[in-house]
Amino acid sequence: MMRAMPARLPARDALRALDRTRDARPALWFYLVIILVFAFLVLGRGMAYVGFPPIYAGEITLVAFAPLVLRKDALSRFIRNPISILVCAYVFLPMLYFTFHQPTAKAAITDFGLFSVVAHYAIFFYYGYAAVHTVLEQRAFLRLMYFAILLSLAHSAARWLVPLRELPLTVNEIPLLGHFDLSGIYRMCGLAYVAIFYPHLGKLKSLALLGLFATYLFCPPSRGFVVVLVVLTGILLWYWRILPLASRRHAVTAVCVAVLVMALGYVIAPSSGMSPHLDAQVDVVVATVSDSPNLPGKAGSKAHRIAMWSEIIGRTLRDAPLFGAGFAEDLTDAVFRNPHSSFVTIFGRMGLVGLSISILIYFGVATHVSRALTWGRSIELRRYLLFYLCFWASFVNVALVQGTPLESPYSALVCNFVLGAAWRCAELARVPVLAASGLDP
Q: 3-class secondary structure for 164-202?
A: HHHCCCEECCEECCCCCCCCHHHHHHHHHHHHHHHHHHH
Query: 403 and 350 in contact (C-beta within 8 Å)?
Result: no
**Among 38-52, 107-121, 268-282, 294-308, the range of highest mean pLDDT:** 38-52
Q: What is the pLDDT of residues 33-89, one digit of tens each?
A: 999 899 888 888 888 888 777 678 888 888 888 888 888 888 888 888 888 888 888
Q: Which helix (H) or strand (E) holds 135?
A: helix 135-157
Query: 431 and 441 in contact (C-beta within 8 Å)?
Result: yes
Quote the percentage of the chain above a pLDDT of 70.
65
Q: What is the pLDDT of residues 124-145, one digit of tens each?
A: 999 999 999 988 999 999 999 9
Domain boundaries, the chain: 27-264+367-437
* Cβ-based neighbours of 260, under 8 Å, separated by 6 or more: none
Give backbone dihedrals phi and psi of 46, rounded to 5 degrees, phi first. Answer: -60, -45
Q: What is the pTM of this model?
A: 0.82
Residue 12, pLDDT score: 43
Name the band, by pLDDT with cuts 50, 70 and 90, for residue 283.
low
Q: Is the pLDDT of residue 344 over 50?
A: yes
Helices (H), 324-408: 334-337, 342-375, 379-401
Q: What is the pLDDT of residues 140-156, one digit of tens each?
A: 999 999 999 988 888 87
Query: 126 and 84 in contact (C-beta within 8 Å)?
Result: yes
Reported for 342-345, long-range contacts at CB under 8 A and 24+ positions apart, including other chains, are 342/118, 342/398, 342/399, 342/400, 342/403, 342/404, 342/405, 342/406, 342/407, 343/399, 343/400, 343/406, 344/308, 344/309, 344/312, 344/313, 345/118, 345/312, 345/404, 345/406, 345/407
Question: What gap in Å lies between CA 406 and CA 399, rounded to an integer?
Answer: 7
Residue 114, pLDDT score: 55
Q: Is the pLDDT of residue 340 over 80?
A: no
Q: What is the pLDDT of residues 350-369, one digit of tens each?
A: 889 989 999 999 999 999 99
The dihedral over CA atoms of 58, 62, 68, 72, expressed in degrees to the nearest 10, equals 140
